[in-house]
Every structure is written in structure tokens, then in C-alpha cells.
Amino acid sequence: MTPLLEVRGLTIRFGGLVAVNDVNLALSANEVLCIIGPNGAGKSTLFNMISGVYRPSAGEVLLEGQDITGWPAHKITAAGIARTFQSSRLFNDLSLIDNVVIGMHCRTRSGVFDALLRPGKARAELEAAAGKAGDLLQAISPELYARRHSLAGSLPQADRRRLEIARALASDPKVIMLDEPSSGMDDRDTDALMEDVRRTMAERPSLSYLIIEHDMRLVSSLPDRVAVIDYGSKIADGDFADVRLLPRVQEAYLGQKASQNA
């Protein structure tokens, strides 16, 4: 069966540095794959190539068998891959709900000309989008929904990350990529985040996840599978319980962190 998302031989060089080297990955529909590895291993760079931020030096990215390598980011989002970033990209001066509406941009039809020439149609579409954004926020995070008219800039860091996930989901993706969603969160915030993710999984059973994560509690509780990246190369791929025991993985990463979290 064709994987939902497939990465073949993905490589990128920055001058003399090979930041990602010949990485292969396959993600099925409804699968959760966590990407782990030490700082600077190449995880975010891998995400940047899949989502069209960087053009790979070599290799291919296939979505449902279609070659999307090097496509511009907006086209990749429209094709069904959404993502969050490590650093927040919210619109601070807009409400939570408006941030989610912006995430729907690639699924709405009205443009500037409609707004000028057919304002009624554009307004109706915007109102429908706002209604849909409210439903989405309520389904994923009732807490954020309760604050839907607040400005995004007023949210604490943990809620900002959760809102970014809701915004990414607004594009109605087939695959969502989360880049260190629990970064900077304490245990309580991480629990709330995990609740949102679980609710999303129940809400959208066919959605697949690629998650870069350092928090071993989250890694061990959520994913079906874990891939380990070290110095730009994939060094392991399999069940977390098996992968964490591999000597090369312990040496590269888990040795320092898993022993603290085991």
C-alpha cells in the first residue's frame, strides 16, 4: 500500500555541512511518528524540507504517491501537510478565533477581488469560516474556546503552542507536523497539550502525525513509532520500547535523557 507520506533519500547541505543525510521515512494514514534526536541533529531541517521551507539538495517527498519535492510551502499546505514551528508565528493583535480563521486560508475561495466586487459573498464565506473555526477550537480545546475573543498576544506560552496546533488543523490537513510542541512547558501544561492531542486524535481518526519531541513522557505515551536522527542521519526507526534500548540510540541521545525520565 502507498504510504500517506514518504521521504526518500532526503538530503540537504549548507555549504560544507550535511544537515540531513539520506533520510528515508514512511508514514501511514492514522499513524503517529515521533522524531527524536539530540540538539542540532537535523530534525527541524527535515521538517523544513517536507513542508517546503527548504528545497532539498537531493531526495524526494511524496504525499499519497505524488512527488511534492520543492513545492512552495503554501502549495504543500493546500495539498494536505500542516505544521507548527518551534518559535511562535501567531498574529498577536488578532483574536484566537481570527488566528484559526487565518489557518483556513488555503481552503477558502474568496480573494481580494471578491472582497471588492462581491462583498456579500466574501462576508458570507468569512462568517462561515469563523463558525467553523469556533467549532474546531471547541472540539480541540474547550479552554481555548472559552477565550476565543481574547487577543493571541495575551496568551501564556503554553496556550500559544496549543493555539498554533488548532490553527494548523484549520487547514484540514492529512498530515500534521508538530515541532517540539511541549518545548518550554511544565508537566501541567504538557498534560493539557497531550489532552488536546488525544482529543484531536479522537476527533480526526484519519489524521497522521509527525512530532519532533524531547519530552520522553510525551514520546512514550503518544506515538506508534519513533525515528531517531543523529548527525543528520536516521539511526533507528521502530517501537519506542525497542528503539530506546539500542546502544547507538542510548549513546546518541537517550543515555542522557531517558535515564532521567525512565
Q: Which residues of the shown chain bind ligand ATP in the complex (CB under 6 A)?
A: 14, 17, 19, 37, 39-45
3-state helix, strand, coil in the chain (%, to 5): 45, 25, 30
Grid coordinates 531517531 are at which residue?
228
Burial 19-35 (b: 16+ CB within 10 A, else e): bbbebebbbebebbbbb
- Nearest approach in angstroms of CB 116 to ligand ATP is 38
CA distance linking residue 33 with residue 61, whole number of Å:
16
CA distance linking residue 212 with residue 172, whole number of Å:
20
- Nearest approach in angstroms of CB 126 to ligand ATP is 36
CA distance linking residue 107 with residue 84, whole number of Å:
18
Nearer to ligand ATP, 73 or 102 (CB): 73
- Nearest approach in angstroms of CB 39 to ligand ATP is 4
H or E element at residue 238:
strand 233-238
Nearer to ligand ATP, 37 or 173 (CB): 37
Nearer to ligand ATP, 145 or 253 (CB): 253
- Nearest approach in angstroms of CB 44 to ligand ATP is 3
- Nearest approach in angstroms of CB 64 to ligand ATP is 26
Q: Is 123 helix (H, G, I), strand (E, B) or coil?
A: helix
- Nearest approach in angstroms of CB 216 to ligand ATP is 14
Nearer to ligand ATP, 20 or 27 (CB): 20
Q: Are 4 and 29 in contact (CB under 8 A)?
A: yes
CA distance linking residue 126 with residue 128, whole number of Å:
5
Nearer to ligand ATP, 199 or 217 (CB): 217
> Cell triple for residue 253?
541521545
Nearer to ligand ATP, 40 or 131 (CB): 40
